[in-house]
Amino acid sequence: METKNIDLSALRIHRSQGDKDGPPKKTGMIVGIALTLSVLGIGAFLLSQKLFAPTIDVRLTTVAWTSPSQSNSVLTASGYVVAQRKAAVASKGTGRLVFLGVVEGDRVKTDQVIARLEDADIHALLEQSRANLRLNEADLKDALRSVARQKTLLEKGLTTQADYDAADARQQRVAASIEVAKAQVTGAEVSMENTLIRAPFNGTVLTKNADIGEMVVPMAASVGSKSAVVTIADMTSLQVEADVSESNIEHIVSNQPCEITLDAYPEIRYQGYVAKIVPTADRAKATVMVKVGFHSYDSRVLPEMGAKVLFLKEASDAAALTEKPRLTIPITSLVERDGKKFAFTIVDNKACAVPVRTGRPMGAFIEIVDGLTPGEKVIDKLDASIVEGVKVKVQ
């Protein structure tokens, strides 16, 4: 066959071109795959760092107005203005209220008649007692004359000793009856006085608890009866009663200077002092009551108003009381980075840096001139871990 004459040596594979082109293509592919894997790995790492970054626990504080005295304070407490001399004025007698001469806000003097009960029955009893006393006094005069007459007759022998003794006994019975009649008159007068309700001390009427026509009794026994007619307070005896934690009571001493601010007038501050530390604790609240007196106050201070008390290291001067409060945050809520000052708020559970402009320091606080608003919440106790965008959780 012709195939036997074929020269097999001519059958060759020319690898020179393949060897020339093959390796570079393979190497480029490997490099490309490696670069792609690197990029994906870096991206996955960054994504994992973002997704699985730890959440930092933080505490918040409030941007608030602070008075200059707060930099001098050792403790702050809340309480209420309470009149130390206060009385629910009631009647000692029972009857229908026919006169009420005061309303809320009226000032009264000691022993001033502020109300009166119906007294027709007691007045009749008083007149009856007085008439009985007059009758007994007339009988006493007759008995005295009879004794004198019997004595004269006895001396002349014109009467017997028995008649004289009988006249003398009658005179003694009438004298005793007079004492009883006087006691009855006194009792009726006391009952009449009990229909008058008087002010026990100089003060101001806080509440009016009964109206004309209602029954007034010493202790109310039904819905339709009243005991206290009005409530009176001595407005010169106002003090703030504040609860101080047992753990902080060691910072309080008698006559310690204080600054009082009413919730109703936060821009007005009053100088005060520790008047009394009540020598007992409230077991349920773990607090001790501290009574804080005013050095002076005006008509804006009213009983039962809420108040805040700053217990100071030393007394504030008059200039500090008139100086306006300043917007502040704790110094621990401020950080300086790259020459700029920042506070951090929370937006979508992430820390958000807020540039601020500060003023003068005020003890543990710093004045905020620009960047924050009153009532805004910022992160307290900043450290290096608090940066822009870091996840945070409020404790």
Q: Convert the pLDDT of each residue in 75-101 to its tens digit.
A: 889 999 999 999 999 888 888 999 999
Under a CB-based contact definition with an 8 Å cutoff, are residues 216 and 229 in contact? yes
**Residue-wise pLDDT tens digits, 343-386:** 999 999 999 999 999 998 887 889 999 999 998 999 999 988 99
Return the CATH fold of 69-85+235-322: Elongation Factor Tu (Ef-tu); domain 3 (2.40.30)
Nearest-Å Rg of the Cα atoms of the chain is 48
Tokens representing residue 381 in the block: 């106790």
CATH 2.40.50.100 domain range(s) in the chain? 88-117+195-234
Q: Is the pLDDT of residue 5 over 70?
A: no
pLDDT tier at 31 (50, 70, 90 boundaries)? low
Write down the number of H helices and E strands in the chain. 4, 25
Query: Which of left, alpha, beta for 306 (phi over 0: left; psi -120 to 50: alpha)?
Result: beta
The H or E element spanning position 28 is helix 16-51
Under a CB-based contact definition with an 8 Å cutoff, are residues 281 and 288 in contact? yes
Predicted local distance difference test score (pLDDT) of residue 18: 47
CATH 2.40.420.20 domain range(s) in the chain? 56-67+325-394
Sheet of strand 350-355, all strands in order from the earlier edge strand to the far edge: 335-337, 340-347, 350-355
Tokens representing residue 247 in the block: 């753990």
Query: What is the mean predicted confidence (pLDDT) over 45-51?
Result: 51
Q: Is the pLDDT of residue 261 over 50?
A: yes
Tokens representing residue 33 in the block: 């795959």
**Percentage of residues of the chain with pLDDT beyond 70:** 83
Predicted local distance difference test score (pLDDT) of residue 13: 53
Q: Which residue has the tokens 């003097």?
A: 109
156 contacts: CB under 8 Å, gap ≥ 6: none
Predicted local distance difference test score (pLDDT) of residue 240: 97
**Residue-wise pLDDT tens digits, 241-255:** 999 999 999 999 999
**Residue-wise pLDDT tens digits, 116-175:** 999 999 999 999 999 999 999 999 999 999 999 999 999 998 889 999 999 999 999 999
Q: Which residue has the higher pLDDT, 233 or 93?
A: 233
Q: Is the pLDDT of residue 112 over 90?
A: yes
Q: Which residue has the tokens 């804080």?
A: 292
Q: Is the pLDDT of residue 4 over 90?
A: no
Q: Is the pLDDT of residue 52 over 60?
A: no
Strand partners, 194: none
Tokens representing residue 350 in the block: 């992430």
Measure the CA–CA gap between 356 and 374, rounded to whole angstroms: 14
Predicted local distance difference test score (pLDDT) of residue 113: 95
What sections of 53-160 are H helices per DSSP?
120-156
Query: What is the mean predicted confidence (pLDDT) over 31-46?
Result: 63
Predicted local distance difference test score (pLDDT) of residue 3: 47
Q: Is the pLDDT of residue 212 over 80?
A: yes
Q: Considering only 32-41, 186-195, 197-206, 242-251, which range has the smallest mean pLDDT?
A: 32-41
What mean pLDDT is reported for the chain? 86
**Dihedral sign computed on CA atoms, order 359, 360, 362, 364:** positive
Nearest residue to 274 (alpha-carbon basis) of 303, 247, 312, 307? 312
Strand partners, 200: none
3-state secondary structure of 249: helix
Identify the CATH number of the domain defined by range 119-192. 1.10.287
Identify the CATH number of the domain defined by range 88-117+195-234. 2.40.50.100
Predicted local distance difference test score (pLDDT) of residue 125: 94
Predicted local distance difference test score (pLDDT) of residue 67: 75
Instruction: Provide the b/e sequence for 131-146 (b: ≥16 CB within 10 Å).
Output: ebbeebeebbeebeeb
**Residue-wise pLDDT tens digits, 175-185:** 999 999 999 99
Q: Is the pLDDT of residue 50 over 70?
A: no
In CATH, what class is 56-67+325-394?
A: mainly beta
**Residue-wise pLDDT tens digits, 288-332:** 999 999 999 999 999 999 999 999 887 665 556 667 778 899 999
> Residue 276: CA atoms inside 13 Å, Cβ hemisphere, count?
9
Phi, psi of 88, rounded to the nearest 5 degrees = -90, 105
Q: Which residue has the tokens 């006493």?
A: 140
Measure the CA–CA gap between 57 and 349, rounded to whole angstroms: 11
The H or E element spanning position 166 is helix 161-194
The pTM of the full predicted model, rounded to 2 decimals, is 0.62
Predicted local distance difference test score (pLDDT) of residue 1: 43
Predicted local distance difference test score (pLDDT) of residue 15: 53
Phi, psi of 97, rounded to the nearest 5 degrees = -75, 120
